[in-house]
Structure 1
Amino acid sequence: MAAPVIGISAYAEEARWGREWAMPAVLLPDAYARAVAAAGAVPVVLPPVAGVHAALDRLDGLVLAGGGDVDPARYGAAPHERTGGVLAARDDAELALLEAALAAGTPVLGICRGMQLLNVARGGTLHQHLPDVLGDTAAAAHLERPGVFGDHPVRLDPASRLAALHGATRVTVAAYHHQAVADLGHGLVPAAWADDGTVEALEAPEEPGVLAVQWHPEMRADPVLFRWLAEAAAKRAAERG
Protein backbone atom coordinates (compact mmCIF):
# COMPACT_ATOMS: atom_id res chain seq x y z
CA MET A 1 0.00 0.00 0.00
CA ALA A 2 1.30 3.46 -0.90
CA ALA A 3 2.13 5.84 1.93
CA PRO A 4 -0.65 8.33 2.74
CA VAL A 5 -0.20 11.89 1.55
CA ILE A 6 -0.56 14.65 4.15
CA GLY A 7 -0.81 18.33 3.29
CA ILE A 8 0.71 20.93 5.62
CA SER A 9 -0.44 24.54 5.46
CA ALA A 10 2.39 27.01 4.98
CA TYR A 11 3.40 30.58 5.80
CA ALA A 12 3.79 33.45 3.32
CA GLU A 13 6.69 35.65 4.43
CA GLU A 14 9.46 37.84 3.11
CA ALA A 15 12.59 35.67 3.03
CA ARG A 16 16.29 35.94 2.16
CA TRP A 17 18.54 33.27 0.70
CA GLY A 18 21.94 33.25 -0.93
CA ARG A 19 23.65 36.62 -1.03
CA GLU A 20 21.29 38.57 -3.22
CA TRP A 21 17.81 37.10 -3.06
CA ALA A 22 15.08 38.63 -0.94
CA MET A 23 11.43 38.30 -1.93
CA PRO A 24 8.06 36.97 -0.77
CA ALA A 25 8.23 33.22 -0.20
CA VAL A 26 6.09 30.28 0.86
CA LEU A 27 7.72 28.93 4.02
CA LEU A 28 7.33 25.98 6.36
CA PRO A 29 9.63 25.08 9.26
CA ASP A 30 11.46 21.90 8.30
CA ALA A 31 10.38 20.11 11.49
CA TYR A 32 6.78 19.74 10.24
CA ALA A 33 7.73 17.93 7.06
CA ARG A 34 10.24 15.73 8.86
CA ALA A 35 7.71 14.77 11.54
CA VAL A 36 5.13 13.77 8.92
CA ALA A 37 7.71 11.79 6.95
CA ALA A 38 8.99 10.06 10.10
CA ALA A 39 5.42 8.91 10.80
CA GLY A 40 5.36 7.11 7.45
CA ALA A 41 3.46 9.64 5.36
CA VAL A 42 4.39 11.84 2.40
CA PRO A 43 4.37 15.57 3.31
CA VAL A 44 3.08 18.12 0.80
CA VAL A 45 3.39 21.86 1.43
CA LEU A 46 0.19 23.83 0.80
CA PRO A 47 0.73 27.53 -0.02
CA PRO A 48 -1.78 30.09 1.32
CA VAL A 49 -3.32 30.91 -2.04
CA ALA A 50 -6.91 31.02 -3.26
CA GLY A 51 -8.18 27.67 -4.47
CA VAL A 52 -5.61 25.53 -2.62
CA HIS A 53 -8.45 23.64 -0.93
CA ALA A 54 -9.00 21.83 -4.24
CA ALA A 55 -5.91 19.80 -3.30
CA LEU A 56 -7.97 18.00 -0.63
CA ASP A 57 -9.24 15.65 -3.33
CA ARG A 58 -5.69 14.28 -3.54
CA LEU A 59 -4.76 14.34 0.16
CA ASP A 60 -5.33 11.79 2.90
CA GLY A 61 -4.66 14.07 5.86
CA LEU A 62 -4.14 17.72 6.78
CA VAL A 63 -1.90 19.58 9.22
CA LEU A 64 -2.84 23.16 10.04
CA ALA A 65 0.52 24.59 11.08
CA GLY A 66 1.47 27.36 13.47
CA GLY A 67 2.13 30.96 12.53
CA GLY A 68 0.76 34.46 12.91
CA ASP A 69 -2.45 35.45 14.65
CA VAL A 70 -5.89 34.78 13.21
CA ASP A 71 -7.64 38.01 12.24
CA PRO A 72 -9.81 38.98 15.25
CA ALA A 73 -12.52 40.13 12.84
CA ARG A 74 -13.10 36.44 12.13
CA TYR A 75 -14.59 36.12 15.61
CA GLY A 76 -16.12 39.57 15.86
CA ALA A 77 -13.39 41.32 17.85
CA ALA A 78 -11.31 44.43 17.34
CA PRO A 79 -7.55 43.79 17.14
CA HIS A 80 -5.51 44.02 20.33
CA GLU A 81 -2.43 46.24 20.18
CA ARG A 82 -0.27 43.09 20.47
CA THR A 83 -2.10 41.12 17.79
CA GLY A 84 0.26 40.62 14.87
CA GLY A 85 1.21 38.55 11.87
CA VAL A 86 -2.36 38.66 10.54
CA LEU A 87 -2.54 37.60 6.90
CA ALA A 88 -5.99 37.56 5.30
CA ALA A 89 -4.87 35.31 2.43
CA ARG A 90 -3.66 32.68 4.86
CA ASP A 91 -6.82 32.83 6.96
CA ASP A 92 -8.91 32.46 3.80
CA ALA A 93 -6.88 29.55 2.44
CA GLU A 94 -6.72 27.61 5.71
CA LEU A 95 -10.37 28.10 6.54
CA ALA A 96 -11.25 26.76 3.08
CA LEU A 97 -8.86 23.83 3.58
CA LEU A 98 -10.39 23.07 6.96
CA GLU A 99 -13.96 23.29 5.68
CA ALA A 100 -13.14 20.96 2.78
CA ALA A 101 -11.34 18.50 5.06
CA LEU A 102 -14.17 18.35 7.57
CA ALA A 103 -16.75 17.90 4.81
CA ALA A 104 -14.76 15.07 3.25
CA GLY A 105 -13.88 13.32 6.51
CA THR A 106 -10.17 13.94 5.97
CA PRO A 107 -8.21 13.64 9.26
CA VAL A 108 -7.02 16.99 10.61
CA LEU A 109 -4.28 17.84 13.10
CA GLY A 110 -4.23 21.48 14.22
CA ILE A 111 -1.02 22.81 15.76
CA CYS A 112 -0.86 26.09 17.73
CA ARG A 113 -2.43 28.61 15.30
CA GLY A 114 -4.11 25.58 13.70
CA MET A 115 -5.97 24.85 16.93
CA GLN A 116 -7.03 28.46 17.25
CA LEU A 117 -8.24 28.49 13.64
CA LEU A 118 -10.30 25.35 14.26
CA ASN A 119 -11.93 26.98 17.26
CA VAL A 120 -12.71 30.17 15.32
CA ALA A 121 -14.05 28.19 12.37
CA ARG A 122 -16.52 26.56 14.74
CA GLY A 123 -17.72 29.90 16.09
CA GLY A 124 -15.37 30.16 19.08
CA THR A 125 -13.25 33.12 20.21
CA LEU A 126 -9.67 33.73 21.31
CA HIS A 127 -7.85 35.54 24.08
CA GLN A 128 -5.72 37.88 22.01
CA HIS A 129 -2.92 38.35 24.54
CA LEU A 130 -2.41 35.89 27.41
CA PRO A 131 -0.58 38.33 29.71
CA ASP A 132 -3.88 40.28 29.93
CA VAL A 133 -5.59 37.11 31.18
CA LEU A 134 -2.90 35.41 33.27
CA GLY A 135 -0.48 38.20 34.13
CA ASP A 136 3.04 38.47 32.75
CA THR A 137 4.62 35.89 35.06
CA ALA A 138 2.19 33.06 34.37
CA ALA A 139 1.96 33.87 30.65
CA ALA A 140 5.73 33.52 30.32
CA ALA A 141 5.34 29.72 30.41
CA HIS A 142 3.61 29.96 27.02
CA LEU A 143 5.98 32.49 25.44
CA GLU A 144 9.25 32.36 27.31
CA ARG A 145 11.20 34.68 25.02
CA PRO A 146 11.08 35.67 21.34
CA GLY A 147 12.17 32.96 18.92
CA VAL A 148 12.58 30.24 21.55
CA PHE A 149 10.17 27.40 22.32
CA GLY A 150 9.65 26.93 26.04
CA ASP A 151 8.67 23.74 27.87
CA HIS A 152 5.77 23.47 30.29
CA PRO A 153 3.57 20.64 31.60
CA VAL A 154 -0.03 20.06 30.52
CA ARG A 155 -2.74 17.93 32.11
CA LEU A 156 -4.67 15.64 29.77
CA ASP A 157 -8.29 14.67 30.29
CA PRO A 158 -8.07 10.97 31.29
CA ALA A 159 -11.10 10.21 29.08
CA SER A 160 -9.67 11.96 26.01
CA ARG A 161 -8.27 10.42 22.85
CA LEU A 162 -5.18 12.49 23.53
CA ALA A 163 -4.53 10.76 26.84
CA ALA A 164 -5.08 7.36 25.23
CA LEU A 165 -2.57 8.19 22.51
CA HIS A 166 0.07 9.34 25.01
CA GLY A 167 -0.69 6.65 27.58
CA ALA A 168 -0.45 9.40 30.21
CA THR A 169 -2.46 12.19 31.79
CA ARG A 170 0.43 14.63 32.12
CA VAL A 171 3.07 15.50 29.54
CA THR A 172 5.63 18.25 28.98
CA VAL A 173 5.23 20.18 25.74
CA ALA A 174 7.04 22.77 23.63
CA ALA A 175 5.07 26.01 23.39
CA TYR A 176 5.27 29.41 21.74
CA HIS A 177 2.04 31.42 21.71
CA HIS A 178 0.56 34.59 23.16
CA GLN A 179 -3.05 33.81 22.22
CA ALA A 180 -5.34 31.00 23.40
CA VAL A 181 -8.85 29.61 23.19
CA ALA A 182 -11.50 31.67 25.02
CA ASP A 183 -15.08 30.61 24.15
CA LEU A 184 -15.23 27.10 22.75
CA GLY A 185 -16.43 26.51 19.20
CA HIS A 186 -19.42 24.28 18.44
CA GLY A 187 -18.79 20.57 18.77
CA LEU A 188 -15.39 21.02 20.42
CA VAL A 189 -14.32 20.03 23.92
CA PRO A 190 -11.07 20.76 25.79
CA ALA A 191 -8.78 17.76 26.14
CA ALA A 192 -5.79 19.32 27.93
CA TRP A 193 -4.95 22.30 30.12
CA ALA A 194 -1.86 24.10 31.33
CA ASP A 195 -1.49 24.43 35.10
CA ASP A 196 -2.82 28.00 34.79
CA GLY A 197 -6.04 26.74 33.19
CA THR A 198 -5.24 27.66 29.58
CA VAL A 199 -6.87 25.23 27.15
CA GLU A 200 -4.06 23.28 25.47
CA ALA A 201 -5.94 20.81 23.24
CA LEU A 202 -9.29 20.39 21.54
CA GLU A 203 -11.16 17.31 20.38
CA ALA A 204 -14.44 16.87 18.52
CA PRO A 205 -16.29 13.94 20.15
CA GLU A 206 -18.46 13.40 17.07
CA GLU A 207 -15.46 13.58 14.71
CA PRO A 208 -12.70 11.13 15.66
CA GLY A 209 -10.51 12.41 12.82
CA VAL A 210 -10.15 15.89 14.34
CA LEU A 211 -7.51 16.71 16.95
CA ALA A 212 -5.77 19.98 17.78
CA VAL A 213 -3.10 21.03 20.27
CA GLN A 214 -1.81 24.42 21.34
CA TRP A 215 1.76 23.15 21.59
CA HIS A 216 4.33 22.19 18.93
CA PRO A 217 4.86 18.41 18.84
CA GLU A 218 7.09 18.76 15.79
CA MET A 219 9.69 20.63 17.87
CA ARG A 220 10.37 17.84 20.36
CA ALA A 221 10.75 14.06 20.23
CA ASP A 222 6.95 13.68 20.37
CA PRO A 223 5.87 11.53 17.39
CA VAL A 224 2.58 10.36 18.92
CA LEU A 225 0.30 12.86 17.19
CA PHE A 226 1.95 12.47 13.80
CA ARG A 227 1.67 8.69 14.03
CA TRP A 228 -2.02 9.10 14.86
CA LEU A 229 -2.50 11.35 11.84
CA ALA A 230 -0.56 9.06 9.52
CA GLU A 231 -2.59 6.04 10.64
CA ALA A 232 -5.87 7.93 10.25
CA ALA A 233 -4.74 9.17 6.84
CA ALA A 234 -3.83 5.64 5.74
CA LYS A 235 -7.29 4.45 6.77
CA ARG A 236 -8.86 7.34 4.87
CA ALA A 237 -6.81 6.47 1.77
CA ALA A 238 -7.94 2.84 1.97
CA GLU A 239 -11.57 3.91 2.24
CA ARG A 240 -11.22 6.09 -0.84
CA GLY A 241 -9.58 3.22 -2.74
Structure 2
Amino acid sequence: MSTPLIGISTYLESSARWGVWDLPAALLPAGYHRLVQRAGGLAAQLPPDDPGAASAVVARLDGLVIAGGPDVEPVRYGAEPHPRTGPPARERDVWELALIDAALAAGVPLLGICRGMQLLNVARGGTLVQHVEAHGGPPGVFAQHDVRPVPGTLLGRVLPEPVSVPTYHHQAVDRLGDGLVTSAFADDGTVEALELPEAPGFVLGVQWHPEAGDDPRVMEALVEAARKGAR
Protein backbone atom coordinates (compact mmCIF):
# COMPACT_ATOMS: atom_id res chain seq x y z
CA MET A 1 0.00 0.00 0.00
CA SER A 2 1.48 3.37 -1.03
CA THR A 3 2.06 6.11 1.51
CA PRO A 4 -0.16 9.09 0.64
CA LEU A 5 1.46 12.37 -0.37
CA ILE A 6 0.05 15.31 1.61
CA GLY A 7 0.75 18.84 0.38
CA ILE A 8 0.90 21.66 2.94
CA SER A 9 0.69 25.33 1.98
CA THR A 10 3.41 27.59 3.36
CA TYR A 11 4.10 31.10 4.49
CA LEU A 12 5.99 33.48 2.19
CA GLU A 13 8.14 35.94 4.14
CA SER A 14 10.16 38.84 2.74
CA SER A 15 12.87 38.28 5.35
CA ALA A 16 13.83 35.19 7.37
CA ARG A 17 17.07 34.51 9.25
CA TRP A 18 19.04 31.29 9.62
CA GLY A 19 22.77 30.88 10.08
CA VAL A 20 24.48 33.78 8.32
CA TRP A 21 21.53 34.36 5.98
CA ASP A 22 18.71 36.91 5.95
CA LEU A 23 16.68 36.25 2.82
CA PRO A 24 13.13 35.92 1.50
CA ALA A 25 11.83 32.46 2.37
CA ALA A 26 8.90 30.10 2.04
CA LEU A 27 8.58 28.52 5.47
CA LEU A 28 6.35 26.44 7.66
CA PRO A 29 6.41 25.55 11.37
CA ALA A 30 7.85 22.05 11.72
CA GLY A 31 4.78 20.86 13.62
CA TYR A 32 2.89 20.56 10.32
CA HIS A 33 5.18 18.16 8.48
CA ARG A 34 5.89 16.23 11.68
CA LEU A 35 2.16 15.70 12.27
CA VAL A 36 1.64 14.51 8.69
CA GLN A 37 4.55 12.08 9.08
CA ARG A 38 3.29 10.90 12.47
CA ALA A 39 -0.12 10.27 10.91
CA GLY A 40 1.43 8.04 8.23
CA GLY A 41 1.75 10.44 5.29
CA LEU A 42 4.54 11.94 3.22
CA ALA A 43 4.74 15.73 3.62
CA ALA A 44 5.37 18.15 0.72
CA GLN A 45 5.49 21.92 1.19
CA LEU A 46 3.60 24.06 -1.33
CA PRO A 47 4.89 27.66 -1.48
CA PRO A 48 2.75 30.30 -3.20
CA ASP A 49 2.75 29.94 -6.98
CA ASP A 50 0.77 31.10 -9.99
CA PRO A 51 -2.85 30.19 -9.19
CA GLY A 52 -3.10 28.71 -12.67
CA ALA A 53 -0.78 25.93 -11.47
CA ALA A 54 -3.06 24.85 -8.61
CA SER A 55 -4.92 22.13 -10.51
CA ALA A 56 -1.67 20.56 -11.73
CA VAL A 57 -0.23 20.63 -8.21
CA VAL A 58 -3.34 19.12 -6.61
CA ALA A 59 -3.44 16.40 -9.28
CA ARG A 60 -0.14 15.07 -7.91
CA LEU A 61 -1.33 14.99 -4.30
CA ASP A 62 -3.35 12.47 -2.33
CA GLY A 63 -4.37 15.06 0.28
CA LEU A 64 -4.07 18.79 0.95
CA VAL A 65 -3.57 20.85 4.12
CA ILE A 66 -4.11 24.61 4.07
CA ALA A 67 -1.99 25.85 6.97
CA GLY A 68 -2.54 28.61 9.49
CA GLY A 69 -1.09 32.07 9.10
CA PRO A 70 -2.01 35.73 8.68
CA ASP A 71 -5.48 37.20 8.39
CA VAL A 72 -7.46 36.72 5.19
CA GLU A 73 -7.78 40.04 3.37
CA PRO A 74 -11.36 41.29 4.01
CA VAL A 75 -11.87 42.26 0.37
CA ARG A 76 -12.03 38.50 -0.34
CA TYR A 77 -15.43 38.42 1.39
CA GLY A 78 -16.61 41.96 0.60
CA ALA A 79 -15.76 43.64 3.92
CA GLU A 80 -13.79 46.68 5.02
CA PRO A 81 -10.76 46.01 7.27
CA HIS A 82 -11.33 46.09 11.02
CA PRO A 83 -8.75 48.15 12.98
CA ARG A 84 -7.40 44.89 14.47
CA THR A 85 -7.10 43.05 11.14
CA GLY A 86 -3.50 42.37 10.17
CA PRO A 87 -1.73 43.29 6.93
CA PRO A 88 -2.79 41.29 3.87
CA ALA A 89 -0.94 38.27 2.52
CA ARG A 90 -2.30 38.56 -1.01
CA GLU A 91 -0.05 35.96 -2.65
CA ARG A 92 -1.11 33.39 -0.08
CA ASP A 93 -4.78 34.31 -0.37
CA VAL A 94 -4.83 33.90 -4.15
CA TRP A 95 -2.74 30.71 -4.15
CA GLU A 96 -4.53 28.96 -1.30
CA LEU A 97 -7.99 29.84 -2.61
CA ALA A 98 -6.93 28.32 -5.94
CA LEU A 99 -5.66 25.19 -4.15
CA ILE A 100 -8.97 24.86 -2.27
CA ASP A 101 -10.99 25.23 -5.48
CA ALA A 102 -8.79 22.66 -7.23
CA ALA A 103 -9.05 20.17 -4.36
CA LEU A 104 -12.84 20.49 -4.21
CA ALA A 105 -13.13 20.08 -7.98
CA ALA A 106 -10.88 17.00 -7.98
CA GLY A 107 -12.27 15.38 -4.83
CA VAL A 108 -8.86 15.46 -3.13
CA PRO A 109 -9.17 15.20 0.69
CA LEU A 110 -8.76 18.64 2.23
CA LEU A 111 -8.00 19.85 5.76
CA GLY A 112 -7.96 23.56 6.60
CA ILE A 113 -6.21 24.61 9.82
CA CYS A 114 -7.06 27.97 11.43
CA ARG A 115 -6.57 30.41 8.53
CA GLY A 116 -7.12 27.39 6.28
CA MET A 117 -10.59 26.85 7.75
CA GLN A 118 -11.38 30.54 7.33
CA LEU A 119 -10.26 30.44 3.69
CA LEU A 120 -12.41 27.36 3.05
CA ASN A 121 -15.38 29.33 4.33
CA VAL A 122 -14.49 32.34 2.17
CA ALA A 123 -13.96 30.10 -0.88
CA ARG A 124 -17.56 28.94 -0.46
CA GLY A 125 -18.90 32.51 -0.22
CA GLY A 126 -18.88 32.84 3.57
CA THR A 127 -17.66 35.72 5.74
CA LEU A 128 -15.46 36.18 8.81
CA VAL A 129 -15.62 37.92 12.16
CA GLN A 130 -12.48 40.05 12.05
CA HIS A 131 -11.76 40.13 15.76
CA VAL A 132 -12.66 37.93 18.73
CA GLU A 133 -11.09 37.93 22.18
CA ALA A 134 -9.66 35.17 24.38
CA HIS A 135 -8.81 32.61 21.71
CA GLY A 136 -5.06 32.67 22.17
CA GLY A 137 -2.28 33.46 24.60
CA PRO A 138 0.18 36.35 24.48
CA PRO A 139 2.02 36.89 21.17
CA GLY A 140 3.56 33.64 19.99
CA VAL A 141 1.96 31.50 22.72
CA PHE A 142 -0.84 28.98 22.14
CA ALA A 143 -3.67 28.85 24.66
CA GLN A 144 -5.96 25.89 25.38
CA HIS A 145 -9.74 25.78 25.32
CA ASP A 146 -12.46 23.18 24.98
CA VAL A 147 -14.34 22.45 21.77
CA ARG A 148 -17.54 20.46 21.45
CA PRO A 149 -17.84 18.35 18.26
CA VAL A 150 -21.33 18.04 16.80
CA PRO A 151 -22.56 14.41 16.92
CA GLY A 152 -23.23 12.83 13.55
CA THR A 153 -20.74 14.98 11.64
CA LEU A 154 -17.46 13.92 10.09
CA LEU A 155 -15.60 15.61 12.95
CA GLY A 156 -17.97 14.07 15.46
CA ARG A 157 -16.90 10.64 14.23
CA VAL A 158 -13.21 11.54 14.39
CA LEU A 159 -13.52 13.22 17.81
CA PRO A 160 -16.57 11.74 19.54
CA GLU A 161 -16.00 13.63 22.79
CA PRO A 162 -15.24 17.25 23.81
CA VAL A 163 -11.53 17.97 23.63
CA SER A 164 -9.10 20.62 24.82
CA VAL A 165 -7.18 22.06 21.86
CA PRO A 166 -4.26 24.44 21.21
CA THR A 167 -5.56 27.74 19.89
CA TYR A 168 -4.16 31.01 18.61
CA HIS A 169 -6.46 33.17 16.51
CA HIS A 170 -8.43 36.38 16.64
CA GLN A 171 -10.66 35.86 13.61
CA ALA A 172 -13.47 33.36 13.20
CA VAL A 173 -16.21 32.18 10.88
CA ASP A 174 -19.27 34.43 10.67
CA ARG A 175 -21.73 33.51 7.89
CA LEU A 176 -21.21 29.96 6.68
CA GLY A 177 -20.33 29.45 3.04
CA ASP A 178 -22.50 27.46 0.62
CA GLY A 179 -22.99 23.85 1.67
CA LEU A 180 -20.82 24.10 4.78
CA VAL A 181 -22.06 22.96 8.18
CA THR A 182 -20.65 23.62 11.62
CA SER A 183 -19.15 20.53 13.22
CA ALA A 184 -17.71 21.94 16.47
CA PHE A 185 -18.23 24.93 18.76
CA ALA A 186 -16.25 26.60 21.52
CA ASP A 187 -18.01 27.27 24.81
CA ASP A 188 -18.60 30.89 23.74
CA GLY A 189 -20.35 29.75 20.54
CA THR A 190 -17.43 30.39 18.18
CA VAL A 191 -17.41 28.01 15.20
CA GLU A 192 -14.44 25.69 15.80
CA ALA A 193 -14.87 23.32 12.86
CA LEU A 194 -16.81 23.12 9.62
CA GLU A 195 -17.18 20.59 6.84
CA LEU A 196 -18.79 20.08 3.45
CA PRO A 197 -21.17 17.10 3.56
CA GLU A 198 -22.04 17.35 -0.13
CA ALA A 199 -18.41 16.76 -1.15
CA PRO A 200 -17.65 13.24 -2.38
CA GLY A 201 -14.67 12.92 -0.02
CA PHE A 202 -13.06 14.41 3.08
CA VAL A 203 -13.44 18.21 3.44
CA LEU A 204 -12.87 19.56 6.96
CA GLY A 205 -11.68 22.78 8.57
CA VAL A 206 -10.66 23.20 12.21
CA GLN A 207 -10.05 26.53 13.90
CA TRP A 208 -7.46 25.18 16.32
CA HIS A 209 -3.87 24.02 15.67
CA PRO A 210 -3.53 20.21 15.84
CA GLU A 211 0.12 20.54 14.78
CA ALA A 212 0.80 22.32 18.10
CA GLY A 213 -0.75 19.58 20.25
CA ASP A 214 -0.43 15.87 20.93
CA ASP A 215 -3.69 14.57 19.41
CA PRO A 216 -3.10 13.28 15.86
CA ARG A 217 -6.65 12.08 15.15
CA VAL A 218 -7.71 14.89 12.79
CA MET A 219 -4.59 14.48 10.66
CA GLU A 220 -4.87 10.70 10.81
CA ALA A 221 -8.39 11.01 9.41
CA LEU A 222 -7.11 13.12 6.51
CA VAL A 223 -4.26 10.70 5.79
CA GLU A 224 -6.61 7.70 5.89
CA ALA A 225 -8.98 9.44 3.46
CA ALA A 226 -6.00 10.23 1.22
CA ARG A 227 -4.85 6.60 1.41
CA LYS A 228 -8.28 5.34 0.34
CA GLY A 229 -8.32 7.81 -2.54
CA ALA A 230 -4.85 6.73 -3.62
CA ARG A 231 -5.95 3.09 -3.67
Q: Which TM-score band applies after superposition, normalised by the shorter structure? A: over 0.9
**What is the match of residue 147 of structure 1?**
140
Q: Does the 8 A contact of 1:46 with 1:52 survive in 2?
A: no
Q: Does the 8 A contact of 1:70 with 1:91 survive in 2?
A: yes
**What is the match of residue 156 of structure 1?**
149
Alignment of 1:155-174 (within 5 A): 155-168=148-161, 170-174=162-166
Q: Which 5+ residue runs of structure 1 have no aligned equivalent?
A: 131-138
1:24 Cα deviation after fit: 1.0
**What is the match of residue 90 of structure 2?**
88
Deviations 1:50-77 (A, max 9, x none): 1441211110000000000111000000
User: Is structure 2 residue 211 aligned with structure 1 residue 224?
Assistant: no
1:81 Cα deviation after fit: 1.6
Q: Does the 8 A contact of 1:204 with 1:210 survive in 2?
A: yes
1:80 Cα deviation after fit: 1.2
**What is the match of residue 211 of structure 1?**
204
Q: Residue 165 of structure 1 aligns to which amino acid in structure 2? A: V
Which residue, out of 211, 225, 233, partners 2:226?
233
Deviations 1:163-193 (A, max 9, x none): 211231x110100000000001000011111
**What is the match of residue 46 of structure 1?**
46
Q: Does the 8 A contact of 2:7 with 2:44 survive in 1?
A: yes
Q: Does the 8 A contact of 1:154 with 1:171 survive in 2?
A: yes
Moved more, 200-209 or 60-69: 200-209
Q: Secondary structure at the match of 1:100?
A: helix
User: Is structure 2 residue 10 aligned with structure 1 residue 10?
Assistant: yes
Q: Residue 222 of structure 1 aligns to which amino acid in structure 2? A: D
Q: Does the 8 A contact of 1:3 with 1:41 survive in 2?
A: yes
The 2-side partners of 1:123 and 1:15 are apart by 34
Alignment of 1:72-83 (within 5 A): 72-83=74-85
1:237 Cα deviation after fit: 1.0
1:86 Cα deviation after fit: 1.6
Q: Does the 8 A contact of 1:65 with 1:111 survive in 2?
A: yes
Q: Does the 8 A contact of 2:149 with 2:159 survive in 1?
A: no
Q: Which 5+ residue runs of structure 2 have no aligned equivalent?
A: none
- Give the TM-score normalised by the residue count of structure 2: 0.96
The 2-side partners of 1:163 and 1:102 are apart by 21
Q: Does the 8 A contact of 2:149 with 2:160 survive in 1?
A: no
The 1-side partners of 2:165 and 2:156 are apart by 14
